[in-house]
């Protein structure tokens, strides 16, 4: 079979070149992704530095703020926090019992649980602008104005599939021996059983909540017509509320350079908050998983 050998000698350089080129392409793509990430963070950081003042985060917009006068975006920071805590709470209250039902009462692959998981996937795929539209229709039906409440409900809908799916994954991961041991405690001690399972899945649930929080914090399209906007702090569920993404969006549309600068600063603040959340997620998923039984 010397022909194969001859061919091998002939082909080797070409194969090696393709191999190296492929490796190079893969490596350069990875480098490109890293460069892009750095570029985004650097752009935001460098542009925002001149406008990053303490007053940005401790003051609400003063008179003439949008003409470049004094003030800050405390309204949007507080508003965003109010909005996402409420929204995540609502989403959590709906998601948790549902996920528990899905994983305890129903058989592993019953058509019913398949249908629910399928609908969660459907919901996950819906763009947040469509949630915004739906939220607005709900507002019309309930005769609500654009308000903190309406915004919360809409964002809760955006977060629901993310939260449910993520919690579902972790609760499903709980080893079935633990589940069975827990159920054998008896139906009357259902809560004890749930507590055992939840403790096992706790880090995963925290992570799921944080992911949902981050998603809600960054989402602008769903609150565009439901939350309204205000320069004051929101103290009631029925008042409109300012949010960070929209604060950035609106300030950016201003013709005044000072105001645009503040948009960059607001972006830095938002990025920082998102960074914080993703760090906490890492911390939790590492720290807490140690208490899990492997």
For residue 155, with 0-12 CB atoms within 10 Å meaning exposed, 13-18 middle and 19 or more buried, which class applies? buried
Q: Which of 69, 145, 195, 282 binds another protein (CB under 8 A)?
A: 282
Is residue 278 within the footprint of another protein (CB under 8 A)? yes
Phi first, then psi, for residue 231 (nearest 5°) are -90, -10
Two tokens at 6?
A: 């001859």
User: Would you count residue 187 as binding another protein (CB under 8 A)?
Assistant: yes
Number of residues located near another protein, criterion CB under 8 A: 93
Q: Give min distance, CB of 185 to another protein, in A.
A: 14
- Which of 74, 84, 160, 201: binder of another protein (CB under 8 A)? 160
Q: Cα separation of 99 and 118, whole Å?
A: 13
The contact mask relative to another protein for 30-49 (x = CB under 8 A, - = no) is x-xxx-xx-xx--xx--x--
Residues 208, 270: Cα–Cα separation, whole Å = 20
Backbone torsions φ then ψ of 284, nearest 5 degrees: -65, -45
Q: How far is the CB of 189 from another protein (least distance, A)?
A: 11
Assess contact for 72 and 60: CB atoms under 8 A.
yes
Rule CB under 8 A: is residue 293 a binding residue for another protein? Answer: no
| Cα separations in angstroms, 283 against 125, 163, 212, 286 | 28, 19, 16, 5
Q: Which of 61, 79, 86, 161 is in the footprint of another protein by CB under 8 A?
A: 161
Site string for another protein, 216-255 (x = CB under 8 A): -xxxxx--xx-------------------x--xx--x---
Closest CB to another protein among residues 70, 121 = 121
Helices assigned H by DSSP within the chain: 2-48, 54-58, 74-104, 111-125, 128-142, 148-173, 176-183, 190-218, 244-252, 257-287
Site string for another protein, 92-111 (x = CB under 8 A): --xxxxxxxxx--x------
Note whether 238 and 249 are within 8 A (CB).
no
267 is an interface residue for another protein by CB under 8 A? yes
Which positions from 5 through 34 interact with another protein, judged by CB under 8 A?
7-8, 10-12, 15-16, 18-19, 22-23, 25-30, 32-34
Query: Which member of 53, 63, 85, 121 binds another protein (CB under 8 A)?
Result: 121
To another protein, the closest distance from the beta carbon of 248 in angstroms equals 5
């Amino acid at each position: 079979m010397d022909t194969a050998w001859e061919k091998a000698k002939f082909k080797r350089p070409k194969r090696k070149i393709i191999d190296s080129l492929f490796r190079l392409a893969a490596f350069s793509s990875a480098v490109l992704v890293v460069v892009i990430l750095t570029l985004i963070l650097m752009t935001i950081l460098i542009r925002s530095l001149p406008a990053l003042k303490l007053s940005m985060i401790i003051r609400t917009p003063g008179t003439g703020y949008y003409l470049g006068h004094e003030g800050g975006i405390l309204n949007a920071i507080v508003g965003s926090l109010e909005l996402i805590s409420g929204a995540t709470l609502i989403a959590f209250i709906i998601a948790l019992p549902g996920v528990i039902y899905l994983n305890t009462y129903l058989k592993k692959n019953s058509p019913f649980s398949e249908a629910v998981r399928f609908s969660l996937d459907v919901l996950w795929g819906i763009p947040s602008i469509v949630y915004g539209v739906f939220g607005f229709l709900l507002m019309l039906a309930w005769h609500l104005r654009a308000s903190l409440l309406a915004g919360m409900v809409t964002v809760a809908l955006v977060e629901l599939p993310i939260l449910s799916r993520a919690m579902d994954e972790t609760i499903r991961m709980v080893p079935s021996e633990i589940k069975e041991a827990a159920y054998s405690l008896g139906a009357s001690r259902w809560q004890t059983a749930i507590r055992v399972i939840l403790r096992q899945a706790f880090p995963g649930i925290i992570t799921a909540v944080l992911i949902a929080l981050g998603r809600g914090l960054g989402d602008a399209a769903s609150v565009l017509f439901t939350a309204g906007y205000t320069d004051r702090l929101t103290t009631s569920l029925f008042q409109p509320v300012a949010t960070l993404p929209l604060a950035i969006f609106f300030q950016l549309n201003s013709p005044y350079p000072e105001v645009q600068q503040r948009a960059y600063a607001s972006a830095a603040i938002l990025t920082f908050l998102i960074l914080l959340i993703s760090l906490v997620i890492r911390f939790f998923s590492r720290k807490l998983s140690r208490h899990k039984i492997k």
